[in-house]
Amino acid sequence: MKLTYLFHSGFLLEADGFAVVFDYYREGRALLDNLLHREQPLYVLVSHEHRDHYNPEVLAWHRQNNRVCYIFPREMEGRRELADLPQTVFLSRGESYADERLQVTAFGSTDLGASYEVVIGKRTVFHAGDLNNWHWADESTEAEVREAEEAYRAELDYLARRVTRFDVAMFPVDARLGSDYMRGARQFVERFEVGVFVPMHFYPAVVKAEAFASIARQHGARFVLLSHTGDSIEL
């Protein structure tokens, strides 16, 4: 498998004979245009409706490739623009979609929508969407920080009841959170066994994202920073 960075939280995962696009926002259109013209199965996963995770442009892709399968969180089911899409799946937390190529399971978020576990063969890939410890400790009250902490830990508890290890995890390391911006990512690698940790949701603070490398490695994960559109890693 090959994982390619598009932009922000957007990634392209290429497997044997099919591909998965996570949270396309912008950048990487040349890569995607080439993919669409291959007429191989393509799964388009959208974690939630925030514009930096969901670009309605993806809704036209099935006109270029009639083997596109769209997967959305259940909360987006009533959106008018999604009504006439072919092969569309909506998942609530804990629900799965499976076919002969992969299995996608939706897990929770501490913002909108879902995070996704994707199982391909014996490989397990995790895209966190906006699952994170969004606490803004420098600005929030103690009660707000405590509330964010409890909500995040509850989602990790739910996830841990179903999964203990990820071969690859794409997870936010967002410096906008302030002095404790790595807290959520650290808690994640403390709780789960992670083979390869790939930061996301960090642009433009690349150096800040890279600072998480020592923590990831301390907990047994290989840290891979993909920071420019087209950067990739063979998995």
Task: Return the bridge partners of 70, or none.
Answer: 44, 88
d(CA 68, CA 46): 13
2-234 folds as Metallo-beta-lactamase; Chain A (3.60.15)
Residues in the chain: 235
- First CA to last CA distance, the chain: 5
How does residue 29 score in pLDDT terms, banded at 50, 70 and 90?
confident
d(CA 107, CA 113): 9
- pLDDT at 107 (0 to 100): 98
Whole-number Cα distances in Å, 219 to 179, 189, 233 = 21, 6, 21
d(CA 120, CA 147): 35
- pLDDT at 140 (0 to 100): 80
What is the domain partition of the chain in residue ranges?
Answer: 2-234
Whole-number Cα distances in Å, 43 to 24, 67, 150, 176, 181 = 12, 8, 33, 31, 31
Give the pLDDT mean for 72-78.
Answer: 96
- pLDDT at 216 (0 to 100): 98
Give the pLDDT mean for 11-24.
Answer: 97
pLDDT in tens, 52-71: 999 999 999 999 999 999 99
Q: What is the pTM of this model?
A: 0.97
- pLDDT at 135 (0 to 100): 86
